[in-house]
């Protein structure tokens, strides 16, 4: 049985995430209908490209905070100043890379402008991550849900204004300005939160208070040495999660990328639930249990695998049952070809649901580097499969590459969890039989 406070926390997080995902989904629906497949493809592929680069900003610092505070408690405050230095440096680097690519790449005028404007979207991404980690550590789940909802709601309202009132403004360029502007506002709000955090206005939950000391303050390089596995993990994840859209744009065309992005939008909404449970609620606790309560850590892992498999199968069946009429109804008949794509991608639902459960164990203790190796290997496999399959099968090839990559990743995660993370627990169980 779930404890009352646990149930309430999950409900709050789920509600905020569901509302955010719902608004993001509606936003994509409006854009797809009003821009048309080709213009929607240009915008969505460029945004996907920016999102691929975004993990370089901060390079895993927000995830590292969850690990450090789980291990050190309030003593982890000593990492904050150097963390902020790394975030500023890497964010500047990430935006610079996009600007160089905008001017040096073989782009038309529209794509070049979209890259330049959407590069500021990175500011919002890194700001959202840092403040989200702070609120998770404080277990301020209502504030966390509101924070996650804020950019989705703001973008949705502004895009509705363009789509239904100022219709002549509904262009990929203007939509890019909306995304960039919202990110800048989010960044300003985040700076206020992080400024207070750096000055000690931060109440860590789940740990005994420890006296903060000025000794052994880590350098920026020390932060980088600890954060890079988290940064690379996110980067590799996005490669096999969103690179298909970018590759379709450059290898096939903008229209194909737009149709594929409709299918991707639906699948991304389905992945919301395991993301809420493991990344937004359980992750800080898993770090703590991995060090201080191994029995609970193992129990959550076993029960989570079963629950995620069942829920993933249900999600897959629902998608298969609704996609044939749902996609034309929501996005328009222009996107009818997305039906077969979403049906292929739906095979990944039970795979990814279980991968969330097994993969979460590899974020703890010393296992993160192993997880990064697995993710990098699968990202490489995904790119190779896309290069082979897209020229011959188009978007269907991209969807198939995604399913194969996801299954490969799950096999690697499950092997590592069973044979490495919980090796002692498995031995103990055998000895008690």
- Confidence at residue 8, expressed as pLDDT on a 0 to 100 scale: 64
In angstroms, the Cα distances linking 243 to 272, 342, 402 are 19, 16, 10
- Confidence at residue 37, expressed as pLDDT on a 0 to 100 scale: 87
Output the pTM of the full model. 0.80
CA distance 407 to 423: 23
Local structure of 426: helix, strand or coil: helix
- Confidence at residue 424, expressed as pLDDT on a 0 to 100 scale: 63
- Confidence at residue 18, expressed as pLDDT on a 0 to 100 scale: 74
Local structure of 184: helix, strand or coil: helix
Q: What is the DSSP string of 8-60?
A: HHHHHHHHHHHHHHHHHHHHHHHHHHHHHHHHHHHHHHHHHHHHHHGGGTTTT
Structure-block tokens of residue 187: 């960044």
CA distance 21 to 396: 25
Residue 60 φ/ψ, nearest 5 degrees: 90, 5
Pair 421, 363: CB distance under 8 Å: no
In angstroms, the Cα distances linking 375 to 58, 229, 236, 284 are 19, 10, 6, 21
Structure-block tokens of residue 44: 């969505």
Smallest CA-to-CA distance from 148 within 22, 336, 257 is with 22
CA distance 275 to 297: 18
CA distance 241 to 264: 9
- Confidence at residue 392, expressed as pLDDT on a 0 to 100 scale: 92
**In terms of residue numbers, what domain contains 192?**
4-432
Residue 284 makes CB contacts below 8 A (sequence gap 6+) with 66, 69, 70, 136, 137, 206
- Confidence at residue 433, expressed as pLDDT on a 0 to 100 scale: 39
407 exposure class (CB count in 10 Å sphere: 0-12, 13-18, 19+): middle
Residue carrying structure tokens 């991404």: 125
Beta-strand ranges (E) seen in 68-192 are none
- Confidence at residue 410, expressed as pLDDT on a 0 to 100 scale: 94
User: Would you give per-residue pLDDT tens digits along the chain (433 residues)?
Assistant: 445 555 566 666 667 777 887 888 899 999 999 998 899 999 999 999 999 999 999 999 998 998 888 778 778 888 999 999 999 999 999 999 999 999 988 788 999 999 999 999 999 999 999 999 999 888 887 888 889 899 999 999 999 999 999 888 899 999 999 999 999 999 999 999 999 888 877 777 755 555 444 557 899 999 999 998 888 888 888 887 788 888 998 888 888 988 998 998 888 888 877 877 776 667 667 767 776 677 888 888 888 889 999 999 999 999 999 999 999 888 888 889 999 999 999 999 999 999 988 988 887 767 778 888 999 999 999 999 999 999 999 999 999 999 999 999 999 999 988 888 777 655 454 444 3
Pair 213, 155: CB distance under 8 Å: no
CA distance 66 to 63: 5
CA distance 383 to 399: 12
As for how many domains the chain has, the answer is 1
pLDDT tens string 165-222: 988 889 999 999 999 999 999 999 999 999 988 887 777 775 555 544 455 789 999 9
């Amino acid at each position: 049985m779930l404890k009352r406070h646990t149930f309430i926390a999950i409900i709050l997080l789920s509600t905020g995430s569901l509302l955010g995902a719902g608004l993001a989904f509606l936003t994509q629906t409006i854009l797809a209908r009003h821009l048309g497949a080709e213009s929607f493809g240009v915008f969505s592929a460029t945004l996907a490209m920016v999102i691929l680069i975004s993990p370089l900003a901060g390079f895993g610092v927000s995830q590292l905070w969850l690990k450090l505070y789980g291990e050190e408690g309030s003593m982890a405050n000593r990492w904050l100043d150097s963390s902020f230095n790394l975030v500023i440096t890497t964010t500047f680097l990430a935006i610079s890379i996009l600007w160089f690519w905008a001017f040096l790449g073989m782009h038309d005028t529209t794509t070049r402008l979209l890259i330049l404007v959407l590069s500021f979207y990175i500011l919002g991404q890194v700001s959202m991550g840092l403040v989200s980690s702070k609120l998770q550590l404080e277990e301020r789940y209502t504030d966390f849900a509101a924070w996650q909802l804020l950019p989705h709601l703001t973008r949705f309202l502004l895009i509705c204004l363009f789509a239904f009132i100022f219709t002549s403004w509904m262009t990929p360029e203007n939509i890019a300005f909306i995304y960039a502007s919202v990110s800048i506002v989010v960044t300003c709000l985040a700076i206020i939160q992080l400024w207070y955090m750096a000055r000690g206005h931060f109440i860590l939950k789940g740990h005994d208070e420890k006296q903060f000391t000025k000794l052994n303050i880590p350098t920026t390089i020390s932060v980088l040495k600890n954060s890079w596995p988290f940064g690379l993990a996110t980067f590799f994840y996005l490669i096999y999660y969103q690179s298909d859209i970018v590759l379709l744009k450059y290898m096939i065309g903008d229209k194909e990328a737009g149709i594929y992005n409709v299918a991707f939008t639906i699948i991304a909404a389905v992945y919301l639930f395991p993301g809420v449970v493991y990344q937004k609620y359980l992750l800080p606790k898993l770090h703590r249990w991995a060090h201080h309560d191994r029995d609970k850590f193992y129990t959550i892992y076993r029960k989570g695998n079963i629950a995620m498999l069942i829920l993933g199968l249900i999600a897959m069946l629902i998608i298969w049952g609704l996609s044939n009429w749902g996609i034309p109804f929501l996005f328009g008949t222009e996107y009818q070809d997305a039906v077969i794509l979403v049906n292929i991608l739906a095979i990944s639902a039970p795979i990814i649901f279980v991968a969330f459960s097994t993969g979460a164990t590899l974020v703890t203790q010393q296992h993160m580097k192993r997880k990064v190796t697995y993710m990098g290997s699968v990202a490489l496999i995904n790119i190779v499969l896309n290069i082979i399959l897209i020229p011959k099968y188009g978007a269907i090839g991209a969807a198939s590459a995604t399913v194969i990559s996801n299954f490969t990743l799950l096999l690697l995660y499950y092997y590592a969890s069973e044979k490495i993370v919980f090796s002692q627990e498995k031995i103990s169980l055998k000895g008690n039989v």
